[in-house]
Structure 1
Amino acid sequence: MTKKLSETTKAIRSKFIAHLAERYVIDESGNYPRAITASGRHQNLSSLTFDFAKWTKGHDDRRIAEDEYGHFMDGLETAIRGRLSRVCGISFKPVSTRSFVDCKGDTLLNTYLSYSPARPSNYENAKVTLNDYANRLFHQNPADKKNVLQFCAHIVKKPTEHPQWGIIMRGYPATGKSSLINLLKVAHGGRYVWSENDYTPAFSQFSEVLPNNMVVSFDDATAGKNTYEDLKLAVTRDTANVQIKGVQSILEREVYSRVFIISNSHRPFVMPADDRRFYVTEYLDHLHDIKDSEAFYEEFTAFWKNPDNAAAIYWWFRDMNLDGFTPNACVKTEARKQLIAMSTTSVDSIIAEFLGGTEISFIDVDGATQTETPPIQTVFHESQILEALKHKGIANIPPDLLRRKLTEAGYEIKRRVVGTCNNGKQIDVWQKLVAKQLRSPALTPAQVEIISAALNSETPPF
């Protein structure tokens, strides 16, 4: 017959398990249950029994009677397994609770550790230095200063409210762009800020970069052909799939990270004309010259690296006013128009201008950036767009390239009767696709006249 533990021994066991519960829960997402800490570190449940000797050291009231000790230790792992809280995995959510229920109803261990220091006595002095930095960084444009700093403050003040846009900061080297990211890291207790010069780690399949951080910064990263689409998805997505070593299935994780693109290049990647996901600052220049900037930032780096200033940096962001800040829409700056103009090839620009319906950015003869939105072409013959390209100096565009660009723009080839063209028989025309419209609308007399003129080699009005 198995000997039962005394009430005293049971009480000691309960206290020990309560002690473990302050640090551990049981993670059941893997191949077998394991203990896990708030930082995400796993260990076998059996290893927790070894902590008992350390816990009892120097405490006579925690000692187990010699005749019960063997039986006590034999059943300790089972008792721990039965009493520690259980979770279905780990996740990251910027709230103070130790665990939370996700959108699927699963209880997850929260790896986020909040940082909210008391307002320090050196705050006012530190605030002067921080304001000097902000004024220097955005000395060319006060609107950039307001909008970018509000975006940063929103991360600290409302971490669970995920904006649907990101920041692009371009400028000369040593103008202090990266220092802003460093300040955000300090304001998060040195955690949850990822900054690299490579897009690949963040956008690789099942990456944890976006769901595990509050700030994701790409610092002079080399762009590829899909970079814009990857960035657009990063700033708009609410969840991301990740795969963690030792976990059986792919997990869906919530995303709260804000995206920054820091670059010395005037055009860090190709930005399409219809972008509405990025706030673009002016190209940042030195307040005086590079020598002056280097001297300032040498002192400023020592300032933000000093642990005595960490709380002040946090409160600098916390005290910022968010009046007018819109997390779901960003301002379309003049710098954005310039970036789009630099991103658009001559072929793309001419095709977009011909098709209409999209804001076109161009630089006029005086060097100023202008915009206009031509009317939408709903139907046309291919000869019309070829004539428009030829008129702008592009005479030999590959047919496959042109058709791909028109298809991507939402057009398809239709067989239509166009007046007396081809002796009243059907010809191929490009027609704009309209959602939920089963049949293409009849051509208007004006459309028939324009297409007929193009096919008769007359100069079409485009």
Structure 2
Amino acid sequence: MTNHTLRFFTVREFKDMLSHESEVLTGYTKTMDEKIKPVADVWLKSGKANLCTKGITFYPIDKHYINGKLNSYFGLGASPMPYEFIDIGAYLLHLELIICNADKNCYEYLLNWLAHMVQKPIEKPEVAIVLKAGQGTGKGTFVDPIGKIISAHFVHLTEQSQVVGRFNSLLENKVLIFADEFFAGSKKHTDQLKGMITEKTAKIERKGVDSIMVPSFSRLIMASNHENIVSIEKDERRYLYLEVSEERKQDHDYFEALRQVIDNPKFTGQLLQFLLERDISNFNPRRVPQIKSSW
């Protein structure tokens, strides 16, 4: 396990990977000759080695081991930093005026939803964000800084099969999934999405490996230019449906100025601080603002 990834090895692969390392002195014979062994063998038999024989799990909390299992959570990708409104204001206005199309209720909900993700990552909101957005409207500009905060537990997917296909290892240990240019108008795929949004566990399947059940804490943002991105029933409460404004579509001067704000090395930490400070004590994620145009 590194700061950003989790890699799996067989015992043989582990030994081969460390075969170039100098052998380790483990003691002496009666004639005072040195006893040496490969470093991998020494580590595998050491009582000081961190062994998790019960397997791997995922909980987005700062604990390395949970119930005898290795926690595959690496933490956030940024540290909170002090900010003034001028530091993050352009981004927040982009969310309000463009992403939420100047709908104040949706804007407040979206900010609360994002704050909920960093303040209460082990509590699934059971609501996904759906963006009806064309190219060049700024949906990526919205998601990019959030993805940097979530870091190793964020994934940007551009193929439908990566989201609702059989082999879905890319979804493992994720807190935020961005399904870009996604369309799931069929009932089958919509039902799969409902499970991803609300279920507390998920089945992860890799090619050639038995499927496993793991805890699920993922949030989902979907974006597409399709009229019906998902099949939304009239009483559905699993989606915040946003029709992204095209007012700034292909406005290169606007996005260049916004990018200068977002690309500031301090911006991600400042945005994180803003989200951590936001009061969500009265926020109920399942009370979703309804948009007339979504039906």
Q: Report the alpha carbon displacement of residue 124 of structure 1 after superposing the two structures with TM.
A: 4.8
Q: Check whether the contact 2:127–2:197 (CA below 8 A) recurs between aligned residues.
A: yes
> How far apart in 1 are the matches of 2:26 and 2:132?
65
1:172-195 superposed Cα distances (whole Å, 9 cap, x missing partner)? 44332222221211212x322222
1:46 counterpart = 2:6: no
Which of 244, 252, 255 is matched with 1:284 structurally? 244
Q: CA deviation at 1:74?
A: 6.6
Q: Which amino acid letter does the alignment assign opposite residue 249 of structure 2?
A: I
SS in 2 for 1:191: helix
Change (3 A) 1:163 1:270: same
Render the CA deviation track for 1:386-409: whole Å, top value 9, x for unaligned. xxxxxxxxxxxxxxxxxxxxxxxx
Distance 1:186 1:49, change over 3 A: closer
Residues 174, 294 of structure 1: 8 Å contact kept:
no
User: What do the CA deviations read for 1:51-103 (whole angstroms, capped 9, x no partner)?
Assistant: 8639x9xxxxx9977976752327971563342232233333211111212xx
Alignment of 1:104-123 (within 5 A): 107-115=68-76, 117-120=78-81
Contact 2:27 2:35 in 1 (8 A): no
Structure with bigger gyration radius: 1
Kept after mapping to 1: 8 A contact 2:127/2:238: yes
Once the two structures are TM-superposed, the CA of residue 254 in structure 1 deviates from its matched residue by 0.7
Work out which of the residue numbers 303, 311, 317 in structure 1 matches 2:261.
303
Tell me the distance in 2 between the aligned counterparts of 1:64 and 1:82.
14
Question: 1:50 deviation in Å?
Answer: 4.9
Q: Is the 8 A contact 2:112 2:280 kept in 1?
A: yes
Contact 2:177 2:218 in 1 (8 A): yes
Going from structure 1 to structure 2, the CA distance change for 1:182 and 1:240 (only over 3 Å counts) comes to: same
- Report the Cα distance in structure 1 between the residues aligned to 2:127 and 2:33, rounded to whole angstroms: 60
8 A Cα contact 2:156 2:180, kept in partner: yes
1:185 is paired with a residue of what secondary structure?
Answer: helix
Deviation at 1:253, TM superposition (A): 0.5
1:148 aligned partner? 110
Which of 48, 53, 66 matches 1:100?
A: 66
Greater share of helix: 1
Instruction: Say whether 1:331 aligns with 2:288.
Output: yes
Alpha carbons of structure 1 residues 193 and 123: separation in structure 2 relative to 1, 3 Å: farther
Distance 1:245 1:331, change over 3 A: closer
86-95 or 230-239, larger mean C-alpha shift:
86-95
CA distance in 2 between partners of 1:303 and 1:64 (Å): 59
The residue that corresponds to 2:55 in the other structure is 89
Amino acid at match of 1:42: F
Report how far residue 299 of structure 1 moved: 2.7
Which AA in structure 2 matches 1:195?
H
Give SS of 1:330's match.
Answer: coil
Amino acid corresponding to residue 165 of structure 1 in structure 2: V
Using a 3 Å threshold, how does the CA distance of structure 1 residues 100 and 246 change in structure 2: closer, same or farther?
Answer: farther
- 1:275 deviation in Å? 2.0
Which stretch has the larger CA shift, 233-242 or 303-312?
303-312
Shift in Å, 1:290: 3.3
Q: Which amino acid aligns with 1:86?
A: L
1:192 aligns with 2:153: yes
Question: Which amino acid letter does the alignment assign opposite residue 94 of structure 1?
Answer: P
Answer yes or no: is the 8 Å Cα contact 2:185–2:228 preserved in 1: no
CA distance in 1, matches of 2:171, 2:43: 37
Provide the residue aligned with 2:220 in structure 1: 259
After the TM superposition, which of the residue ranges 75-84 and 92-101 deviates more from structure 2?
75-84
Deviation at 1:160, TM superposition (A): 0.7
Residues 186 and 314, structure 1, Cα contact 8 Å, conserved in 2: no
**Overall identity of the aligned pairs, in %:** 17
The answer on whether the counterparts of 1:278 and 1:330 sit within 8 Å (CA) in structure 2 is no
Contact 1:152/1:317 (<8 A) preserved: yes
Secondary structure, aligned partner of 1:259 = strand
The TM-score normalised by the length of structure 1 is: 0.54
The SS at the match of 1:152 is helix
Report the Cα distance in structure 2 between the residues aligned to 1:242 and 1:330, rounded to whole angstroms: 30
Give 1:73's aligned residue. Answer: 37
CA distance in 2 between counterparts of 1:297 and 1:79 reads: 52
Write out the 4+ residue segments of structure 1 that deviate beyond 6 Å after TM superposition. Answer: 62-67
Q: Structure 2 vs 1, CA of residues 79 and 180 (structure 1 numbering), >3 Å: closer, same or farther?
A: closer
Deviations 1:432-451 (A, max 9, x none): xxxxxxxxxxxxxxxxxxxx
Say yes or no: does 1:238 pair with 2:238.
no
> Given the alignment of the two structures, is residue 322 of structure 1 paired with residue 291 of structure 2, yes or no?
no
Distance apart, 1:240 and its partner CA: 1.3
Q: Which amino acid aligns with 1:330?
A: R
Q: Cα gap change, 1:53/1:280 in structure 2, threshold over 3 Å: closer, same or farther?
A: same
Kept in 1: contact 2:121–2:217 (CA 8 A): yes
CA distance in 2, matches of 1:68, 1:240: 56
Amino acid at match of 1:53: S
Partner of 2:170: 209
Of the three residues 209, 220, 227, the one matched with 2:181 is 220
1:356-371 superposed matches below 5 A: none
Superposition deviation, residue 202 in structure 1:
1.9
Q: 2:162, 2:170 within 8 Å by CA — same for their partners in 1?
A: yes
3-state SS, counterpart of residue 92 of structure 2: helix
Residues 275 and 75 of structure 1: is their aligned pair in 2 closer, same or farther, counting only changes over 3 Å? closer
How far residue 201 of structure 1 moved from its aligned partner, in angstroms, is 1.2
CA 1:119/1:166 → structure 2, altered by over 3 Å: closer, same or farther? closer
Unaligned stretches of 5+ in structure 1? Answer: 1-35, 57-61, 102-106, 341-462
Change (3 A) 1:302 1:110: farther
State the shift of 1:143 in Å: 0.6
